[in-house]
């Protein structure tokens, strides 16, 4: 099962939805090209046990 999470681009500050695969582990990071400005976002996804959801942060790679 994939989780949809909201990510804000650190370059253009647009928000959009990305998918996180829990089978990849409780803490993941990867590069995702922004759907709006196409610049590479360094995505950091961390499993939040209390919220039972992923918390994602986008950084400039
Ligand atoms: Zn962007």
pLDDT confidence of residue 61:
77
pLDDT at position 51? 62
Task: List, edge to edge, every strand of the sheet that includes 53-60.
Answer: 27-33, 40-48, 53-60
| Distance in Å, CA 60 to ligand 1 centroid | 10
Cα of 12 from ligand 1 centre, angstroms: 4
Q: If you search the block for the tokens 């360094």, which residue do you land on?
A: 42
Please state the pTM of the whole predicted model. Answer: 0.83
* End-to-end Cα spacing for the chain: 28
Find the 20 Cα to ligand 1 centroid distance in Å.
18
Distance 27 CA to ligand 1 centre (A): 23
* Cα(51) to centroid(ligand 1), Å: 27
pLDDT tens for the chain, 61 residues long, are 888 999 999 999 999 999 999 888 889 999 999 999 999 999 999 988 776 788 899 999 7
């Amino acid at each position: 099962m994939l989780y949809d999470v909201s990510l804000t681009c650190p370059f253009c500050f647009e928000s959009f939805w990305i998918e996180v695969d829990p089978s990849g582990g409780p803490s993941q990071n990867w590069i995702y090209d922004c759907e709006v400005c196409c610049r590479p976002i360094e995505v950091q996804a961390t499993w939040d046990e209390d919220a039972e959801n992923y918390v994602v942060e986008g950084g400039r790679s």
